[in-house]
A = this chain, B = another copy of it.
Amino acid sequence: MSNIEQSSTAFNRFQNLWSSYADLRNAAAILEWDQLVNMPPGGSEARGEQLATLNRIAHEHLVSETMADAIAQAEASEGRPDRPQTATQAALRVARREHDRARRVPADLIAEMARTTTAAYTAWEAARSEDRFTLFAPLLARLIDLARERADALGHQGERYDALLGDQEPGLRTSQLRALFAEVDRGLQPLLQSITDRPQPGRPLFHRTVPESEQLEAGRWAVTAFGFRWRDGRQDRSTHPFMTSFAPGDVRMTTRLSADDFASGFFATLHECGHALYEQGIPDAYRRTPLAQVPSLSLHESQSRLWENCVGRSLPFWKYFQPQLARCSGTFRNASAEDLWRACNRVHRSLIRVEADEVTYHLHISLRFELELALLSGDLPVSDLPEAWNDASVRYLGLRPSNDHEGVLQDVHWSGGGFAAFPSYSLGNILTGIWMEAAESELGNLDRQITEGDFRPLLQFLRHAIHSRGGWDTTEELVQRVSGGPLTPEPYLRRLRVKFNELYDL
């Protein structure tokens, strides 16, 4: 039985199989959410076993001969054009891709990666806390070897990074990223230079002690205004904020609060809400089908950053939200909308990616992209990585880390075998420029709507243009649909220039 429109018997047979696979994946996601939000410490070992079993069974289901046959039969019956014309064709394109990729990687390699990442995470934690990169180096070297093996198993045309990029960004090429990122670097460097030449604002307004209940209340007020449906989701607290979805009607976001930094928890809340709004906007008819899966990490990230940065860090938002915030918390009662807006848009060169502002963020990603490519190609031996990182920090950010803790050891990603994931964050930012330009051209005075606290037109636009498509399109196809043009960083750079010219009186 299919949730997708009229379809053939062959498609229904495929969809039946896929439903079980989707249920297993979502069940695993529920176990993971619980692990991070509720699980008592004593449950940890058993939970690892339960997740391993669910993931193994889901994988076996996906790569089974039954599934292979069902996909092939459904393709024969529904047609398989390059660009899907129907929902069933689009669903099959996603399924084919996921099935083929899963089958290409040998079980031994998957097992070896799982073992190595477990050891590597422990080594990374130790290296980081002792500031000794050498503790992590051998495992990182092994992970790079395994990533190469995996890239070769997945298949590529010379550029291994392409294969790995496919985990997050189906269809995107490394060569495209190189060109895109170079263009963004060229746009941001002069902007950053102009800003840092200007006098900096005074004390950071948000660094005051705000009771947790008031922080939560402010965040909930904002995400409710954005349109988060509490009937179809919830918010909890966890060490690291994240969003996960088990169905369009059950979307969970978490946040963390910092006692003496209101902005940290508040913008994490807006960010996760952006992810959550996307998931809540996927049509319920796509539930358990391949179309319930979001096409790329960058697309997801573009939703979180749109609400966090393009909305949440805008002056119109603070004009609307200043009185609401004053209602939730007395702490900022005397701050004007403009004070608050300036406070959440301070730009400065810094070493830590996760603390970076909108202008410098991408430079952290370019640095990682450059080094990942060099590591994977073998041009950069792991032993030279810390020095290469520090040199690149000077080139991209104008700062040299004084130790590896604030340098090469700051991110967890590589220890989990996650190469080629960082670019999605920048791509997400780049995409926000395209979506916002399209929204403004369709909605007219978006700023006024936001100032009035009316976020419905923007959400409706995103629902219609992006969320309701689910997994239909690749990222580039969706850009084409929405903007009529190719994936370009120009709108993104334009927005930043306008915003920071105003903020810094450039």
Contacts and interface: CB of A to CB of B under 8 A. Distances in A.
Interface in A178-236: 229-234
A24 B31 CA distance: 11
Interface in A10-53: 19-20, 23-24, 26-28, 30-31, 34, 38-47, 49-50, 52-53
Contacts of A364: none
A20 B53 CA distance: 6
Contacts of A57: 20, 24, 57
A52 B229 CA distance: 26
B50 A23 contact: yes
A249 interface: yes
Interface residue SS majority, chain A: helix
Nearest to A250: B43
B23 A49 contact: yes
Given A19-B53, A26-B50, A288-B49, A40 B230 contact: yes
A38 B56 CA distance: 26
Contacts of A39: 250
B42 A232 contact: yes
Size bracket, chain A contacts: 35 or more
A46 B34 contact: no
A246 interface: yes
A39 B49 CA distance: 24
A54 interface: yes
A365 interface: no
Contact of A30 (B30, B53, B232, B233): B30
21 contacts: A20-B56, A23-B52, A23-B53, A27-B53, A27-B54, A30-B30, A40-B230, A40-B232, A40-B249, A41-B231, A41-B232, A42-B229, A42-B247, A42-B248, A43-B247, A46-B246, A46-B250, A46-B287, A47-B246, A47-B247, A50-B246
